[in-house]
Amino acid sequence: MNQPAPDPTYMTVHALSAAIADGSLTSAGIVECCLQRIAALDEKLHAFVTVYADEARLAAKAADQAIQSGHSLGPLHGIPIALKDIIDMEGRITTGGSQVWRQRISPTTATVAQRLIGAGMIVIGKTHSVEFAMGGWGTNTHMGTPWNPWDLDTHRTPGGSSSGSGVAVAAGMVPAAIGTDTGGSVRLPASYCGLAGLKTTVGRVSLHGILPLSTTLDTPGPMTRSVEDAAMIYDTIQGHDPLWPPTLAHTAQSPFATMRRGVQGLRLAAVSGAERSGVDGPTLAAFDAAQETLHGLGATITEIEMPRPFTDFAAIAGRIIGAEGYRFVGKLADDDELPIDPNVRPRIALGRDIKAHEYLDALAEKEAVKAEFAEIMLDFDALLLPSTETPAIPVVEADEGGTPARFTRAGNCLDLCALSLPNGMSPDGLPTSLQIACAGHDEATALRVGWAYEQATDWHTRHPDLG
């Protein structure tokens, strides 16, 4: 008797890949499941700006034919993925989360998209972003704020700026999505939505064809249901790109050579003291439990005091984002006739008043704190810290003049790579998140620690009850 096909709704990318390989699922079946899920849920959740339904079905049919004829492009062939709507695909609209760009036709295809498509992945649509990718809560006044699927009764923060990407993956509408991270915009949605989110090192992944916010800090990264999935997609999108020269300075390194080695003997630092202040009880409890788990797996964990408070790192990154963001979209924000998000316009306007010497001072201070931090981390392989201070809060309680990026902006300021992944649930049934930060270009270690933790826990298997 033939076994019934597995339900692909919440399967991981690597599980879907295995199911396609053994014939228990087809790409066409997976894509159709995603499209049905989007049709059923997105009116409420509002994750997608655009869905490429017809094109995805055609691509899935072609993928199945190629795979069945022995012409598989690799483990990602036939797997659907969504792209944050600041990532260009030639001839298609990229809004950047803005009504101003509702009809902006992309002049090129981003290198990230090219590499995913080249690996056989199927772009199923574009997901919502905070306008101009400038905000951590995930809100968007004019284009709409995605609904965090972990609470269908209360509209909670999805995390930003890659808000739609986080919601789409968490709700089972797509197994993976690409976001970008300038101050936490991959890790914040991953945290609030209960996902793995990888902030890559600047220069690891090409920014060609991605609308800029801060070219000093911007970096693309995957949001997935498992650490292994994040590694698979990261391995595909990293590497040299002549169209983005910063990628030429470093050789691509596959994370899979070390990812499954465990954490025995690794030296992990954990934030302590004053940096625990302001973090709510469930988040702290989950953070402490994660440390115990990693210690039980053989890692040495040492609590450390940071050379400066995380708010200092956030402030430095904020000045750089402000100055560079104003360079790119300042003229739009200065035009009072344009429908710019009233929460975003003042963030952009802050950059107007940053003088050249103040911007250069911020860049110099960034290098100084990098050196301070690097000296401290000489004795450690990674730093453990929460991703956010709390689980997702009601949208109406979000302080639009502030940011939830206290613990994430440090990674951008210090040129680190960092992985966020679920590590618990609050009493209200909301995900908490652990952040594993490593030296720049050491994504392999972050993924190694994350994979070991994930194998010892089941938090990544939880998903919202959406009926």
Q: Tell which residue, 434, 320, 323, 324, has the closest CA to residue 370.
A: 320
At 246, which helix (H) or strand (E)? none
| 301 strand-pairing partners | 268
- Tell me which of 17, 129, 161, 163 is the catalytic residue: 161
266 HSE (CA, 13 A, CB side)? 28
Query: In whole angstroms, how far apart are CA 374 and each of 26, 362, 370, 378?
Result: 47, 18, 6, 6
CA distance 43 to 33: 17
Collapsing DSSP states into helix, strand and coil, what is residue 434? strand
**The two structure tokens encoding residue 46:** 């509002």
Contact 315, 308 (CB under 8 A): no
**Partners of 165 in the beta sheet?**
none
Task: Check if 84 is active-site.
Answer: yes
Strands (E) in 166-320, as ranges, are 176-180, 196-199, 220-224, 267-271, 300-304
- Single out the catalytic residue among 17, 27, 84, 163: 84
Tokens for 217? 């800090």
Residue among 246, 157, 161 nearest 199 (CA): 161
Q: Choosing from 17, 27, 185, 226, which is the catalytic residue?
A: 185
**Residue pair 60/31 in contact by the 8 Å Cβ criterion:** yes
Catalytic site includes residue 161: yes
Strand partners, 438: 417
Q: Pull the structure tokens for residue 387.
A: 């991703």
Ramachandran angles phi, psi of 28, nearest 5°: -60, -40
Do residues 248 and 280 make contact, with C-beta atoms less than 8 angstroms apart? Answer: no
The CB-side HSE value for 99 (13 A sphere, CA atoms) comes to: 13
Whole-angstrom distance, CA of residue 213 vs CA of residue 321:
7
Task: Decide if 10 contacts 68 (C-beta within 8 A).
Answer: no
User: How many angstroms separate the CA atoms of 54 and 143, rounded?
Assistant: 24
- Residue type at position 356: A
Kindly state the DSSP code that residue 182 receives in the 8-state scheme.
Answer: S
How many whole angstroms separate alpha carbon 135 and alpha carbon 129?
9
Contact 421, 194 (CB under 8 A): no
Active site residues: 84, 161, 185
